Structure 1
Amino acid sequence: MRDILPADKARRERVLSVIRDRYLAHGFDEIETPVVEEYDRLHAGIGGDNEKLSYNILRRGLDADAIREAADDPAALSDLGLRYDLTVPLARFYASNRGQLPGVFRAIQIGPVWRAERPQKGRYRQFVQCDIDIMGDDSSRAEAELMVATLDATDALGLDGATVRINDRRALDWMLDVFGFAAEERPGVLITIDKLDKIGAEGVTAELRERAVWQGTSTGPVDAFQAFLQRPQTLEHHPFGERQIRKALPDGAPDEVVSHLVRIGEAVAAARASGPEAAEVEVPLLFDPFLVRGMGYYTGTIFELAHPSVSYSLGGGGRYDGMIGRFLGQQVPAVGFSLGFERLVDLVTAEPDAAAPSIVLVHDADVPVAELVAHKSSLIAGGARVRLERRTKNLKALLERSAADGYTAFATVSSGAGELELKPLA
C-alpha cells in the first residue's frame, strides 16, 4: 500500500479521466459499490485464488476467549471482508437493484480493491481497478462492445498498437476432453497450462507428467497434449477469423464456440474501420487456445489486453454467466473487462490540460492577505488553478518544485502591485 504524492495523484486522475470519458462515450453508466462485502459472498468459491488473499474483518464484540475458540474457523471470526475485485460486488449490486436497471445494463466501476499479495513491481496490496461490464446480453455484441470501448480508451491514452488475446473456456474444456483429461483433473491441469508463457511447453508437459505419476493417472493425455504442441505448423499469417481459430485448435472444434468468436471479430473490425474499408481492416484480436485466466467464475469467452511495449497483460476479463444467478436465483448473462490501472498508468504520459493554466503567485512577506486573496480569486474566476507561495531565498528551488507539481506559470506579487505579469515555468 502506498502514499500517492500530489504530482503522481494528478497524473493518475488525468489517466482516469480519459478512461472514464471514453467509457461514458460508449454508453456505459458509472456506479459505486461499498468496499466491504459479506464474508460468505467473498468466499463463495467463485473468486479463485483471490479468495485466499482477501482481507477479512473481525466480527464485532468477540472477546479473547471467543477468538481463541474460533481460531480454526474463519467464518466464525469474520462476517465481512474487503473486496478483492469489483466483479463479485457488481453481481451483488445487480441482484439487489435489478428492478431499477435497464434490461441490458452497461456498468462502469472504478475503485480500490485489496489483496494480501506479496508486494512486487506492478503488484500492490491496494490497487485501483477500472471495470466495464454488460449484464443481460448473451450475444457476441456484448464482448465486442467491451473490446471496442477498451481499445478506444487505450488509443486515447496514446497506447497505440494494443491487442486483445481471446479464448473461450468452452473451447479449453473441449480440448482437454479431446486430449483425454478426466473432468476432475482439469482444474489442476489448467493451472499448469496457464504457466506456458513462464516455463514454456517443455516445462508445462514435464509438470503435467509429474502430476499424473504422483496421482496415479494415465500419462496418455499428457502425451496427446505434448504431440499437439509439437505438431508441424506453417508460418503463414492469418487475420483473426474462422481459419485462424480452427488452425489453432484440434480438428472438430465446436461450431457454436468458433462462430461466437468469429462474430466478435467481425463486430470489432466494423467498429475499428469506417465506410467500405471495414472488411479490409485487420482486427486487433489474437486467438490464443491456451489462454486460461484463473478466476473460477468464467463460463465462456475470456480475454486479455496486451501491448508490444511490455511482456505482461494490461487487463483482462471474460464471460461469467453463472455468477449473478447465485445472488438472484435467476440466471443473467454477464461479461466484463477490467483494466489493470496500476500497470497502465506507468506506461502513459498524460500531460496537464494546457487550456487550464496553473499559476503560482510568489509573494513578499509584507503583502496584505486581502490583496493576495483578491489576486488569487481574480485568476481563479478566469479559469486558472492558483497556489500562493511566500518568496524564499532559493527562488529557483521553489519554482522547480512548483513545475514538478504541474504548475505552468508564475507571477511575483509585491505590496501595492497592480496587474500581475505571468511568466512561464520551465
Structure 2
Amino acid sequence: MATTVTAPRGMRDHLPADKARREHVLGVIRGVYARHGFDEIETPVVEDAARLHSGLGGDNEKLAFAVMRRGLTTEDLRQAEAPLDLADLGLRFDLTVPLARFYASHRAELPTVFRAVQIAPVWRAERPQKGRYRQFVQCDIDVLGEPGQLAEIELIRATTAALDALGIVGTSIRINDRRILLALLASWGITEPAAADRALITVDKLDKIGAVGVAEELGQTLDLDPGATADTIRALESADWESVRGADWLDADAFAELERLRAALPGVDLRFDPTLVRGMGYYTGTIFEVAHPDFGYSLGGGGRYDGMIGRFLGQDVPAVGFSLGFERLVDLVSLPGSAESDAVVLVYDKDVDPVRLAALKAEALDAHHRVRLEKRTKNMKNLLAGLAEQGFGSFATVGADTASLEGVAFRPLA
C-alpha cells in the first residue's frame, strides 16, 4: 500500500513564498506591538489535560487533541471509563488558558500590570474546511492587572495600529458588553445562568442562521415566542449608539462605560452591536471584534475575562485580551517586493566553476542584504516570476568567464 505524502488532514505545508509572506506579517505585527509596550512570552505547546478541560475553554475543550500517557498497558485500556482517562496532557487549543497558567506561575517575576504578546500555533480537532484548519497561528495581546478601561484602550489602539501597518484599511471595531447581553436576556425572562449560557450560544449563531433561525431555536430550548423574539433581534441588528440609549432592557452602567471608551478612542470606528456575543464563556465585561465591509468574517476579537486567572491563582486578576486572525490576515497581505530591491539573484550556467560562483556570491553579499543563486532553466520566465513573488528585486546572469560582478548588468525582476 502506498504511503501518503500529504500533510495531515487540516494541516498545511508552507512553500517559500507563502512562508516569506507569513514572516513579513509576523514581523510587522511584532514590531507594532513592541512599540506599544507589549512583551513577548512563550509557553509550552502542551498543558495538563485537567487544565484544558476545566471549563475555561468552552466548546473548544471538545476539540482538544489529547496526548496519551506514557507506558499505558492493556489493563489501563480496560479500566478506562472515558478516552480522557488515558491522557495526562493535551495540545493547547488557544493561548488564553496557557497565559492564565503562565501568569499564575510567574506573577512574582512580572510587573503589576503585565502587557503580553503571544504568537504561536494552536491545535483544534476541527472539521477541516476552507479557512478552518486543525493547526493555525494565533496572535494575541493581553493586559493583565489593569482593572480600568486603560487596558481596553491600549489593546484597541495597538490592534488598529497593527492593521494599519499591514495596509488593511476600512476596518471597524464592533463592541458590546456581556452585562448588556445578560440584561437583554433578563428582559426575555432568562435569568438562570445555565439557561442564559444556552441562549447566548444560540444568539451567537445569528450571522449563520439569521434572526428567524435564532428565534426558532430559542423558542424550542427556552419556550420564547419565536415571532416576538425575531422582531426584537431584527431591531437589535440595526441598533447603534443612539437608538438604544434609554432602552428599558439596557444595562445603563455598562453602556456608559462603552461610551466613555468610544470617547477615548477618537479616530477609531467603534460600533456598538448589542448582538455581539463572542462564544467563549469566560468573558465577563467588554467584548469586541474587528469587522471589514468586504469580508463576511471577523479579522480578530477578544474581551475582558476577569475571572479566569483566579481559577489558577486563588485570587482574581483583571485581564483583557485581543487576538488577531493571523491566518486570515496573511491572505490579505502581499509582500512588498519592490521594497526589497537590494535582494538579488545570480543566474548561472551549469559550467560555471563552483569556487568562482561562491566568490561571486560573496561579492554580492558584501553589497546586498540577500543573495540567491539559481541555475539557468529552460523556462526562465516562470523562475523569475517566482523569485519576484519572494521579494527579490533584480537579477544578473553570470557565466564561466565572469570574474567579477563589476560591470555586470542587473535587471529588475518585476
Both proteins in one fold, TM over 0.5: yes
Equivalent in the alignment of 1:324: 309
Hey, what's the Cα distance between the residues in 2 that align with 1:120 and 1:263? 40
Listed one character per residue, the Cα deviations across residues 163-202 of structure 1 (whole Å, up to 9, x for unaligned) are 1111111111122112211313111111111122222222
Relative to structure 1, is the Cα distance of residues 6 and 347 closer, same or farther in structure 2, using a 3 angstrom cutoff? Answer: same
Hey, what's the Cα distance between the residues in 1 that align with 2:357 and 2:281? 59
Any residues of structure 2 matched to 1:53-64 within 5 Å, and which? 53-64=63-74
Hey, what's the Cα distance between the residues in 2 that align with 1:144 and 1:259? 15
Q: Does 1:260 align with 2:257?
A: yes
Equivalent in the alignment of 1:246: 245
Hey, what's the Cα distance between the residues in 1 that align with 2:355 and 2:75? 62
Q: Which amino acid aligns with 1:116?
A: A
Equivalent in the alignment of 1:364: 349
Relative to structure 1, is the Cα distance of residues 292 and 387 closer, same or farther in structure 2, using a 3 angstrom cutoff? Answer: same
Hey, what's the Cα distance between the residues in 2 that align with 1:95 and 1:352? 44
Hey, what's the Cα distance between the residues in 1 that align with 2:117 and 2:34? 8
Hey, what's the Cα distance between the residues in 1 that align with 2:236 and 2:362? 72
3-state DSSP of counterpart to 2:29: helix
* Conserved? CA contact 2:64–2:90, under 8 Å: yes
Relative to structure 1, is the Cα distance of residues 399 and 109 closer, same or farther in structure 2, using a 3 angstrom cutoff? Answer: same
CA shift for structure 1 position 224? 6.2
Hey, what's the Cα distance between the residues in 2 that align with 1:48 and 1:209? 23
Equivalent in the alignment of 2:157: 148
Among 318, 330, 337, the residue aligned to 1:345: 330
Equivalent in the alignment of 2:412: 424
CA shift for structure 1 position 246? 2.2
Equivalent in the alignment of 2:272: 287
Equivalent in the alignment of 1:387: 372
Relative to structure 1, is the Cα distance of residues 141 and 371 closer, same or farther in structure 2, using a 3 angstrom cutoff? Answer: same
Q: Which amino acid aligns with 1:219?
A: L
3-state DSSP of counterpart to 1:291: coil
Equivalent in the alignment of 2:390: 405
Listed one character per residue, the Cα deviations across residues 234-275 of structure 1 (whole Å, up to 9, x for unaligned) are x8x96x5xx45526xx31633321222122111111xx3xxx
CA shift for structure 1 position 141? 1.1
* Structure 1 vs Structure 2 CA RMSD: 2.2
TM-score w.r.t. structure 2 length? 0.91
Among 298, 322, 325, the residue aligned to 1:313: 298
Equivalent in the alignment of 2:31: 21
CA shift for structure 1 position 223? 6.8
Q: Does 1:48 align with 2:68?
A: no
Among 110, 116, 133, the residue aligned to 2:142: 133
3-state DSSP of counterpart to 1:80: strand
* Conserved? CA contact 1:356–1:384, under 8 Å: no
Equivalent in the alignment of 1:85: 94
* Conserved? CA contact 1:14–1:352, under 8 Å: no
3-state DSSP of counterpart to 2:337: coil
Hey, what's the Cα distance between the residues in 2 that align with 1:229 and 1:137? 34
Hey, what's the Cα distance between the residues in 1 that align with 2:340 and 2:390? 17
CA shift for structure 1 position 204? 1.4
Name the % identity.
57
3-state DSSP of counterpart to 1:354: helix
3-state DSSP of counterpart to 2:264: helix
Relative to structure 1, is the Cα distance of residues 356 and 380 closer, same or farther in structure 2, using a 3 angstrom cutoff? Answer: farther
Hey, what's the Cα distance between the residues in 2 that align with 1:357 and 1:267? 42
Q: 5+ residue gaps in structure 2?
A: 1-10
Equivalent in the alignment of 1:176: 185
Hey, what's the Cα distance between the residues in 1 that align with 2:375 and 2:184? 70
